[in-house]
Chains A and B, each alone.
Chain A
Amino acid sequence: MKPTDIKNPEYFHKVVDCQHACPAHTPVPEYIRLIAAERYTDAYMVNWRSNVFPGILGRTCDRPCEPACRRVRVEEEPVAICRLKRVAADNKDDITDRLPTIPRKKNGKRIALIGAGPASLTVARDLAPLGYSIDIYDNQFAGGGMMRSQIPTFRLPVDVLDEEVNYILNMGVTTTFNVEVDSLKEILSKSYDAVFVGTGAPRGKGLNLPGLEDAMANVYLGIDWLSSVAFEHTRSIGKRVLVLGGGNTAMDCCRTSRRMGGEDVRVVVRSPFEDMKASPWEKADAAHEGIPIYNNHVPREFVVEEGKLKGMNFEKVEAKYDEEGNRTLIPIQDGLVFMEADDVLMAIGQENSFPWIERDLGIEFDKWDMPLVDKATFQSTNKTVFFGGDSAFGPENIITAVAHGHQAAVSIDLFCRGEDVAQRPPPHVTLASQKMGVHEWSYDNAVENDQRYIVPLAPLQKTLKDRKVEVELGFDISTGFKEAERCLNCDVQTVFDELRCIECDACIDICPTDCISFTTNGSEDDLRGRLEAPAPELTQDLYISADLPTMRVMVKDENVCLHCGLCAERCPTTAWDMQKFLYNVSQAGQ
Chain B
Amino acid sequence: MSYQVPKFRHPDLPLNDLGYTKADYEGTISTLCAGCGHDSISGSIVRACHELSIEPHKIAKLSGIGCSSKTPAYFLGKSHGFNSVHGRMPSVVTGAALANRDLIYLGVSGDGDTASIGMGQFAHVARRNLNMVYIVMNNGCYGLTKGQDSATADRGSASKKGDPNIYSAIDLCGTALQMGATFVARSFSGDKEQLLPLIKAAMSHRGFAIIDVISPCVTFNNNPQSTKSYEFVREHSEATGTIDFVPMHKEITAHYQPGSSHDVTLHDGSSLRLYKADESLNPFDRRSAVAALEDHRDSGSILTGLIYINEDSRDLHEVLETSQRPLNQLDEADLCPGNKMLVNINASLR
A interface residues, Cβ below 8 angstroms from B: 73-75, 438-440, 445-447, 449, 502-506, 508-510, 512-515, 533-534, 536, 549-550, 560, 562, 564-566, 569-573
Choose one: A447, A505, A515; the contact of B40 (CB below 8 Å).
A505
Whether A502 contacts B2 by the Cβ 8 Å rule is no
Count of A-B contacts with CB under 8 A? 105
B107 contacts the other chain (CB 8 A): no
Whether A565 contacts B10 by the Cβ 8 Å rule is no
Taking each of A506, A508, A550, which has the highest tally of chain B beta carbons within 10 Å of its own beta carbon? A506
Are A562 and B10 CB-contacts (below 8 A) given A502-B231, A509-B42, A550-B234?
Answer: no
Q: How distant is B77 from chain A, measured CB to nearest CB, in Å? A: 14
How far is B8's CA from A515's CA once the two chains are assembled, in angstroms? 12
Are A571 and B40 CB-contacts (below 8 A) given A447-B6, A533-B10, A565-B2?
Answer: no
Beta-carbon nearest neighbor of A535 in chain B? B12
Residues in B neighbouring A445, C-beta threshold 8 A: 2
Q: How distant is B166 from chain A, measured CB to nearest CB, in Å? A: 28
Q: List 23 A-B contacts (CB under 8 A).
A: A73-B11, A445-B2, A446-B4, A502-B35, A502-B222, A504-B37, A505-B43, A505-B189, A505-B192, A506-B34, A506-B36, A508-B43, A510-B29, A510-B39, A512-B7, A513-B10, A514-B13, A549-B231, A550-B234, A562-B6, A564-B6, A565-B2, A566-B6
Q: Could you tell me which residues of chain B, from 7 to 24, have a CB within 8 Å of some CB in chain A?
A: 7-13
Q: How distant is A445 from chain B, measured CB to nearest CB, in Å? A: 7
Whether B190 contacts A534 by the Cβ 8 Å rule is no
Choose one: B9, B190, B222; the contact of A505 (CB below 8 Å).
B190
B69 contacts the other chain (CB 8 A): no
Choose one: B11, B35, B222; the contact of A506 (CB below 8 Å).
B35
User: What would 9 more interface pairs be, CB under 8 Å, given A439-B1, A439-B2, A510-B30?
Assistant: A74-B8, A74-B9, A446-B4, A446-B6, A504-B190, A508-B43, A533-B12, A569-B34, A571-B34
Whether A449 contacts B2 by the Cβ 8 Å rule is no
How far is B230's CA from A569's CA once the two chains are assembled, in angstroms? 19
Sort A-B residue pairs by CB-CB distance and give the 3 closest, nearest first. A572-B35, A447-B6, A509-B43
How far is B35's CA from A124's CA once the two chains are assembled, in angstroms? 55
Whether A502 contacts B43 by the Cβ 8 Å rule is no
Whether A74 contacts B1 by the Cβ 8 Å rule is no
Residues in B neighbouring A502, C-beta threshold 8 A: 35, 218, 222, 230-231
How far is B192's CA from A503's CA once the two chains are assembled, in angstroms? 12
Residues in A neighbouring B29, C-beta threshold 8 A: 510
Are A503 and B190 CB-contacts (below 8 A) given A533-B10, A562-B8, A564-B6?
Answer: yes
Are A570 and B39 CB-contacts (below 8 A) given A503-B190, A504-B216, A565-B2?
Answer: yes
Beta-carbon nearest neighbor of B33 in chain A? A572
Choose one: A506, A564, A573; the contact of B2 (CB below 8 Å).
A564
Q: Residues 294-316 of chain B: 1 if any A CB is under 8 Å from the residue's CB, otherwise 0?
A: 00000000000000000000000
Q: How distant is B336 from chain A, measured CB to nearest CB, in Å? A: 51
Whether B12 contacts A534 by the Cβ 8 Å rule is yes
Residues in A neighbouring B216, C-beta threshold 8 A: 504
Residues in A neighbouring B190, C-beta threshold 8 A: 503-505
Beta-carbon nearest neighbor of B46 in chain A? A509
Beta-carbon nearest neighbor of A445 in chain B? B2
Beta-carbon nearest neighbor of A565 in chain B? B2
Whether B2 contacts A512 by the Cβ 8 Å rule is no
Whether A569 contacts B2 by the Cβ 8 Å rule is yes
B320 contacts the other chain (CB 8 A): no
Q: How distant is A451 from chain B, measured CB to nearest CB, in Å? A: 12
Q: How many residues of B contact A (CB 8 A)?
A: 32
Beta-carbon nearest neighbor of B4 in chain A? A446
Beta-carbon nearest neighbor of B231 in chain A? A502
Taking each of A502, A503, A550, which has the highest tally of chain B beta carbons within 10 Å of its own beta carbon? A502
How far is B12's CA from A74's CA once the two chains are assembled, in angstroms? 10
Residues in B neighbouring A569, C-beta threshold 8 A: 1-2, 34
Are A571 and B43 CB-contacts (below 8 A) given A439-B1, A504-B216, A513-B8?
Answer: no
Beta-carbon nearest neighbor of A515 in chain B? B10
Q: How distant is B6 from chain A, measured CB to nearest CB, in Å? A: 4
B343 contacts the other chain (CB 8 A): no
Residues in B neighbouring A533, C-beta threshold 8 A: 10, 12-13
Are A570 and B35 CB-contacts (below 8 A) given A505-B43, A514-B13, A533-B12?
Answer: yes
Residues in A neighbouring B234, C-beta threshold 8 A: 503, 549-550
B5 contacts the other chain (CB 8 A): yes
Whether B230 contacts A447 by the Cβ 8 Å rule is no
Whether B35 contacts A510 by the Cβ 8 Å rule is no
Whether B40 contacts A503 by the Cβ 8 Å rule is no
Residues in B neighbouring A573, C-beta threshold 8 A: 35
Residues in B neighbouring A447, C-beta threshold 8 A: 6-8
Whether B9 contacts A512 by the Cβ 8 Å rule is yes
Taking each of B8, B43, B234, which has the highest tally of chain A beta carbons within 10 Å of its own beta carbon? B8
Beta-carbon nearest neighbor of A519 in chain B? B193
How far is B228's CA from A504's CA once the two chains are assembled, in angstroms? 13
How far is B12's CA from A514's CA once the two chains are assembled, in angstroms? 10
Choose one: B12, B34, B189, B231; the contact of A570 (CB below 8 Å).
B34
Beta-carbon nearest neighbor of A557 in chain B? B10
How far is B222's CA from A561's CA once the two chains are assembled, in angstroms? 30
Whether B40 contacts A504 by the Cβ 8 Å rule is yes
Whether A509 contacts B2 by the Cβ 8 Å rule is no
Residues in A neighbouring B2, C-beta threshold 8 A: 439, 445-446, 564-566, 569
Are A536 and B8 CB-contacts (below 8 A) given A504-B218, A550-B234, A572-B33?
Answer: no
Are A503 and B43 CB-contacts (below 8 A) given A446-B2, A447-B8, A513-B8?
Answer: no
How far is B1's CA from A121's CA once the two chains are assembled, in angstroms? 46
Whether B12 contacts A506 by the Cβ 8 Å rule is no
Are A566 and B10 CB-contacts (below 8 A) given A504-B35, A509-B42, A572-B34?
Answer: no
Whether A506 contacts B39 by the Cβ 8 Å rule is yes
Whether A506 contacts B40 by the Cβ 8 Å rule is yes
Residues in B neighbouring A446, C-beta threshold 8 A: 2, 4, 6
Beta-carbon nearest neighbor of A437 in chain B? B1
Residues in B neighbouring A503, C-beta threshold 8 A: 190, 230, 234
Q: How distant is B109 from chain A, measured CB to nearest CB, in Å? A: 20
Whether A510 contacts B12 by the Cβ 8 Å rule is no
Whether B5 contacts A566 by the Cβ 8 Å rule is yes
Are A560 and B34 CB-contacts (below 8 A) given A504-B40, A505-B40, A569-B1?
Answer: no
How far is B344's CA from A451's CA once the two chains are assembled, in angstroms? 70
Beta-carbon nearest neighbor of B7 in chain A? A449
Residues in A neighbouring B10, C-beta threshold 8 A: 513-515, 533-534, 560
Q: How distant is A503 from chain B, measured CB to nearest CB, in Å? A: 6
Q: How distant is B270 from chain A, measured CB to nearest CB, in Å? A: 23
How far is B4's CA from A449's CA once the two chains are assembled, in angstroms? 12
Residues in B neighbouring A514, C-beta threshold 8 A: 9-10, 13
Q: Residues 218-241 of chain B: 1 if any A CB is under 8 Å from the residue's CB, otherwise 0?
A: 100010000000110010000000
Residues in A neighbouring B9, C-beta threshold 8 A: 74, 512-514
Residues in A neighbouring B8, C-beta threshold 8 A: 74-75, 447, 449, 512-513, 560, 562
Q: Could you tell me which residues of chain B, from 152 to 168, have a CB within 8 Å of some CB in chain A?
A: none
Choose one: A74, A510, A512; the contact of B11 (CB below 8 Å).
A74
How far is B40's CA from A572's CA once the two chains are assembled, in angstroms? 13
